[in-house]
A and B are shown apart, each in its own frame.
Chain A
Amino acid sequence: MAAYLARRLVQSVLILLGVSLITFLLLYVLPADPVRQIAGRSATPETVENIRRQLGLDQPFLVQYGRYLWGLLHGDMGRSYLQKTEVAALVASRLPATLLLMLGAILSELVIGLSMGIAAAVWRGKWPDQVLMMTSFVTVSAPQFVVSLLMLYVFAVQLRWFPIGGYGTFAHLVLPALTLGILGSGWYARMMRSSMIDVLRTDFIRTARAKGLSRSRVVLRHGLPNAILPVIAMIGIDIGIFMGGIVVVESVFGWPGIGQLAWQAIQRVDIPIIMGVTLVSACAIVLGNLLADVLAPFIDPRIKLR
């Protein structure tokens, strides 16, 4: 276990190094010149050259990348070109909002998805199963921005139950978290359904039924604890999926997390911020996958870590 963890951690660091190299390279060849953005249109060529030298952007690629890595080792992610703030501080100030949204999203995914899955398994093959599975297909086929706008239109514009965007109170969290919850529930529902169907087929469930326990008690007290384990293992993977998509939800709902930060930075070619957010997201994805793999043998003892 310890050896496995050590090897996986080394691999994860290498992967993150690769992600940083590729992102840095992509941003280096970017045709949009960040210096022009900073200097403005009316700047003289001399000013432009000065800024370029100050930021170290006149150096060859490897020197720039080396400096960046050296900084990273010391916890320095560079400074934003336009806001003149430390990227690490900017990301740190935005991260709590994103984590809060992630928590809300995963909770609502689990509540919606698991209930759908359990109901579908219990009524397997009947119409509730068919309706629920069709619904799960619709949720995985819907783009985030359409569902976000739909939720805003119904619950914020028409019904006025929730604010139209922003951050601060629980009411602000409900719509974005619910949007992500609906969108992610499809996968959980399908996994929960197949897992529950497998469990309900086993002998100990038949015994429980034969003892005369009620159907709901058998499903919720005997079936659920067993069926839920493989589903829980998916949360790690889900963190990765969440991180991959926050740009859209955060910009539609005006949620001040790192996704919105990244989107604003992309529009202004603020490269250090784009780098920083990409790396932080990649960290979360790698950690989530690691978590899923490490949890697997605890959930199913037949799985051995190699």
Chain B
Amino acid sequence: MANGSVVSAARPAGVISRLAKHKPAVFGALVILGIVAAAILAPMIAPFAPDDQMFDGLTLEGAPMPPDGKFLMGTDLLGRDLFSRILYGARTSLVIGVVANGLALLIGTLVGLTAGYFGGWISAVLMRLTDLMMAFPALLLAICLAAIFQPSLWIVALVIALVNWVQTARVIYAETTAIAARDFIAAERTLGAGTGRILFRHILPHLMPTIIVWGTLGISTTVLLEATLSFLGVGVQPPTPSWGNIIFENQTYFQSAPWLVFIPGAAIILLALAFNLVGDALRDVLDPTQRGRA
């Protein structure tokens, strides 16, 4: 660490000023802010309603219109304005990103914390369960789960959370065992602190940097998984626009109307990239031992 100052999650000002020196992270944060703003302001920015099938939205032959002055990103196979659908699709991606990833983070943290602190048979059972989850072909599992329940926005979020909590659980488990073995925890116990107090007042705060880093990186994984499920047709269902299902609906046109595939595709990459950049920078800032590692 250059100036030897201690940065912790408890001092967010230090974290933010350090992040501000990290150019890729600033770029990522600006992209996230932009996409969040676009999602919130969608009704005001969008030139057309996202599900309005316009008569002049198709050529005389019934093909989608390429991008022009009226339709900034062209129209899709039903004559709907792609730009408006992309704006509303940002809502889907962000909602799923936050809900599914929040849920995965919650499950992962609880499992890792419980297993790491109590050890013994509790840890054996919980960690064997995570081993089991690691052995599942993740996408196949998600597709099966999404096919079992009739997919809706919330079901898709739930499915993604059920597939994605494992990594967090393993990391939190490893850290919790290390912290629980330290003297200050033994001291707390001797002083009569209850289990709940030790877990949530003394161990959890030490895990916050890890939780923040994994929470940020996890949104990127979540966005990609949602897009993939929606692209296969088992994710968010049309007419609700999602960047993945826009590609799913229009892929038959991808040779003659490539913008219908590559504009939403670029949007997915941009959002996932932004969260990866910010997450990676957070890892550098919050955990100096990880600096420069892959």
Contacts and interface: CB of A to CB of B under 8 A. Distances in A.
B232 A248 contact: yes
Interface string A2-27: 00000000010011101100110011
A244 B231 contact: no
Nearest to A11: B131
Contacts of A285: 134-137
Measured as residues with beta carbon below 8 angstroms from the partner, the interface class of chain A is 35 or more
A282 B137 contact: yes
Contact of A278 (B136, B273, B277): B136
Interface stretch (B184-192, B207-215, B260-268): B260-268
Given A157-B255, A191-B294, A143 B231 contact: yes
B137 A141 contact: no
Given A137-B280, A141-B269, A143-B224, A262 B140 contact: yes
Contacts of A141: 220, 224, 269, 272-273, 276
B247 interface: yes
Interface in A154-190: 157, 187, 190
A143 B228 contact: yes
Contacts of B255: 153, 157
Contact of A193 (B247, B272, B294): B294
Interface stretch (B109-117, B143-151, B170-178): B143-151
A199 interface: no
B262 A150 contact: yes
Interface string A264-297: 0010000000100110011001100100000000
A197 interface: yes
B251 A190 contact: no
A18 B140 CA distance: 16
Interface in B195-230: 220, 224, 227-228
B280 to A, nearest CB: 7
Interface of B: 24, 128, 131-132, 134-141, 143-145, 147-150, 220, 224, 227-228, 231-232, 244, 247, 251, 254-255, 258, 261-262, 265, 268-269, 272-273, 276-277, 280, 292-294
22 contacts: A18-B128, A31-B150, A137-B280, A140-B276, A142-B268, A142-B269, A143-B269, A143-B272, A145-B231, A150-B265, A152-B254, A153-B254, A190-B294, A191-B294, A194-B294, A197-B292, A245-B139, A251-B232, A262-B140, A266-B147, A274-B144, A278-B140
